Structure 1
Amino acid sequence: MSRSGSGPQLPLALRYPPDQRFETFVGAPPGASAQLRALAETASAGWLYLSGPAGVGKTHLALAACASAEQAGRRAAYLPLRAAAGRLREALEALEGNDFIALDGLEAIAGDREDEIALFDFHNRARPAAVGVLYAANANPDALPLTLPDLRSRLSQCARIALAALDDEGRKEVLLQRAQRRGLAFDEAAIDWLLKRVDRDLASLTGLLDELDRASLAAQRRVTVPFLRHILG
């Protein structure tokens, strides 16, 4: 993977939102953040495979690793594979020259033989080029519907981190932290009420938090149980 020119770079704060950093992640397995930091910040090749069901924070950690790599002076790239499905070879070739690459959502290309071959070729080029690679998927390699045995074998050789869904206390902590960072006045009782009545995956909850932030600002009100009842019907 030889270096190639690239267009203007976005400021780090815009490329990787401040909500998505290692220090803002709740419920990481012991040693996981240190392992991800080492891969992102160290100038040596390595592979990590991050697995877990939807909504547990895989994208959060992938973006945090990219931000950590760039803060360490390395060139990093994040690619959601759903957006590149059917043209993965072209998308991966566009990432040439990066020191650290996070590929999020392997399940999106599983079963597409051409995409799998492109990923296999990329994987084989990464180590001699000293590129650190983070894969994220909703299941371990053995459970993905891959058609290329050699790709499954390569992915199975990666070091692994497994994420589990947060319990209500963990979700509550995530929402309180994010509300505080936004300057959103959110009653703790309102969070308890919310967790009992809406979808509990983190993506849905944080999306709802954005909506409540806008509504609270427009109404100039704290987020209370009566306010939630009014906004959510």
Structure 2
Amino acid sequence: MAQQLGLDLPSRTALGRDAFFVSPSNAVALAMIDAWHDWAGDKLVLTGPEGAGKTHLTHVWAEMSGARIISARELRQEDVPELAQGPVAVEDVPDIAGNSEAETALFHLHNLALSEEHHLLFTGTGPVTQWGLRLPDLVSRLQGTTAAQLDAPDDSLLSALLVKLLADRQLTPKPDLIRYLLGRMDRSFAAAIDLVERLDAASLALKRPITRHLAVQVLDKDAPGA
């Protein structure tokens, strides 16, 4: 199943199902999102490292299910009754660890939405056992929720992403440039986006095409002591 990957860029936002590139690092999680009607207990936890694509998959699910998306930090007790009237995705749950009011609001949203027979999606970095939540009832419910794991992007996914990001700027990279970048960059979507933006900026400033030589100059600026 060939898919094209699209991510947030200054000139466009592509977070739909057709813009998601499938690789071994995300295929299982995507399959679980696609099968959202069959989630055990009508809920799912989506986990993975920073930049692995959790936000993209959250938007994919919201598009399919009609869910509202809210950051855990923005959740308030007074908003729970309205939110619970439909499916909800709560992003970055570990961000509220130790915040008793926010954890209590999430606990109430969990119970009320499920009692109304609506689906819930929770996201966070790493397994739930490492989220640092302190409200026992909330912890038990989230730890008892089926989890879908997104792995760090593999070479095939990062390569496709770099090609796509450059193509969005009407740039066609040579294979040796992609291989070079893969060997030098951090292994995340965020790092790939940042690197392409810096390459493009350097190309415009120097009025030079994006080549391996230019990439060496840009990456050398990141080296310790540079």
State if a TM-score over 0.5 links the two structures.
Answer: yes
The equivalent of 2:31 in structure 1 is: 34
The equivalent of 1:63 in structure 2 is: 59
Aligned-partner residue type, residue 52 of structure 1:
G
Q: Is the aligned partner of 1:113 residue 2:85?
A: no
Secondary structure at 2:184's aligned position in 1?
coil
| Number of aligned residues | 207
1:136 to 123, 129, 154: 123
CA distance in 1, matches of 2:63, 2:208: 34
Secondary structure at 1:127's aligned position in 2?
helix
The equivalent of 1:153 in structure 2 is: 140
Distance 1:56 1:30, change over 3 A: closer
2:88 to 92, 98, 101: 101
Q: Deviations over 1:61-111 (max 9, x none)?
A: 112222333xxxx3x3222335x2xx64356566454x3322111110112
Secondary structure at 1:108's aligned position in 2?
helix
CA RMSD of aligned residues (A): 3.0
* Alignment of structure 1 residues 216-231 onto 2, 5 Å: 216=203, 222-231=209-218
2:72 to 72, 77, 81: 81
CA distance in 1, matches of 2:144, 2:210: 47
Q: Is the aligned partner of 1:51 residue 2:47?
A: yes
CA distance in 2, matches of 1:214, 1:21: 30
CA distance in 2, matches of 1:19, 1:211: 22
Aligned-pair identity in percent equals: 31
The equivalent of 2:4 in structure 1 is: none
Distance 1:222 1:21, change over 3 A: farther
Q: Which runs of 5+ in 1 are unaligned?
A: 1-13
CA distance in 2, matches of 1:102, 1:197: 35
Contact kept in structure 2, 1:100 and 1:133, CA below 8 Å: yes
Distance 1:161 1:119, change over 3 A: same
Aligned-partner residue type, residue 37 of structure 1:
D
Secondary structure at 1:200's aligned position in 2?
coil
Q: Is the aligned partner of 1:164 residue 2:151?
A: yes
CA distance in 1, matches of 2:143, 2:184: 39
Distance 1:141 1:194, change over 3 A: same
Q: Is the aligned partner of 1:173 residue 2:133?
A: no
CA distance in 2, matches of 1:96, 1:216: 49
Q: Is the aligned partner of 1:198 residue 2:185?
A: yes
CA distance in 2, matches of 1:19, 1:37: 15
Q: Which runs of 5+ in 2 are unaligned?
A: 1-9, 222-226
Cα shift at 1:162: 0.9
TM-score (norm 1): 0.73
Distance 1:134 1:220, change over 3 A: farther
CA distance in 1, matches of 2:100, 2:132: 11
